[in-house]
Chains A and B, each alone.
Chain A
Amino acid sequence: MSGNPKRPDEPAEQPPVTPESTEGYSPEEEEEVAKRLEDLGYI
């Protein structure tokens, strides 16, 4: 890892993001989730 110092300002405490399960999703809905993840750059 780089030797850069840690940033001085820690993120404030935030409420957790609601978890989401794809259990029970149809293949089309699972495909939509995958498209979202792709569009937002996660995958």
Chain B
Amino acid sequence: MRHVAVDIVTGFLGSGKTTLLRHVLDHGLKGKPVALVVNEIGEVGIDGQVVTGLNYVEKMVELSSGCICCSIDEYRFDLAIQEIIETVHPHLIIIESTGLADPEPLAYRVKSAGLNLDAVITVVDALNVERFLKEAEVATAQITAADFLVVNKIDLVGDDQLAKVERRLRKLNPRALRLRTLRGAIDSEVLFATGVATYREAAAAPRATSEHLHRDAFTSFLYRSHAELDQPAFERMLAKLPDDVIRAKGIVRLVGRDWHCLFNVTCGRVEIAWLKLPADRTENQAVFIGRNLDRHRAGILDALQHCERGSEHRQGERA
């Protein structure tokens, strides 16, 4: 039972990755079945080609005497992840990379291990990012690979410098969502895979939406149907989602497929996985999270309806 999502937290040395993780583990992720994997500093080549030396911390302390404490290559990375899954049964694994790691090879490893990559979260030191970008190529790689850019230490820079930093980040990675934080204290559920459930609940019961969901200015809506979807049309729809859609996630049945399709869109990056569930489970369910969704909701739902098998007949009837 491997169905596990993985979030990668990266960022240059001293950017505040651990501080951010401590905050979210104590707040939004508290009590969730989350495993945290920390990549020890000094164990990763500066070229970032190989991830070695994984250690468990926090909820994984009991495993620290296992083989995963020592340096591991790609093969052992897979074994370590497998051991985590079998021993702790997490729903979400968070991997914190070193400050010198390029997240792309790590993301590739995650996918190669058969896991769902949920998001790459890059913490940016607002005060020092310009210097890091000049001194180390990997700082650029960390920013360009991100789905979410968490701009930290905003109290250490003035408004003008912060605006300059954000312009630079937008130029390097226009796809990523930028979020500002002070000492890693981020009050949003949007970063990690398990937070999506909160927006789903909010979409199902809008009146019960919690205060902090209102504060982060993201809204959500649901799609449900029992019709099978045309796969090419559905994939085109996912690829053309508006930039305002930060996340989209759900389970749908596609025409001609025995397996259910699990899809996950994070800031425009689409991930598809397959899961075979009992045949009587026929409902498509999806949640869309983002900004200005009142502008996009009708268009997205209409596009989904056009993906439904039989929609061509309905269109013909309308004409």
Contacts and interface: CB of A to CB of B under 8 A. Distances in A.
Given A2-B296, A8-B174, A11-B269, A41 B276 contact: no
Contacts of A36: 1, 3-4, 91
B308 to A, nearest CB: 15
B249 A42 contact: yes
Interface stretch (B51-59, B153-161, B239-247): B239-247
Given A1-B240, A38-B197, A40-B196, A15 B112 contact: yes
A8 B92 CA distance: 29
B199 A41 contact: yes
Interface residues of A, number: 33
A36 B115 CA distance: 14
Contacts of A25: 1
Contact of A17 (B1, B107, B273, B300): B273
A37 B285 CA distance: 11
Interface of A: 1-2, 4, 6-9, 11-12, 14-23, 25, 29-30, 32-33, 35-43
Interface of B: 1-5, 32-33, 91-92, 104, 107-108, 111-112, 114-118, 174-175, 193-200, 237, 239-240, 242-244, 249-251, 259, 262, 268-278, 285, 287, 295-296, 299-300, 302-303
23 contacts: A1-B237, A1-B296, A2-B296, A6-B240, A9-B268, A11-B270, A15-B112, A17-B114, A17-B272, A19-B274, A20-B274, A20-B275, A21-B259, A22-B275, A29-B1, A36-B1, A37-B251, A40-B5, A40-B91, A41-B287, A42-B251, A43-B250, A43-B285
Given A30-B278, A40-B5, 5 more contacts: A2-B299, A14-B271, A19-B274, A37-B251, A41-B193
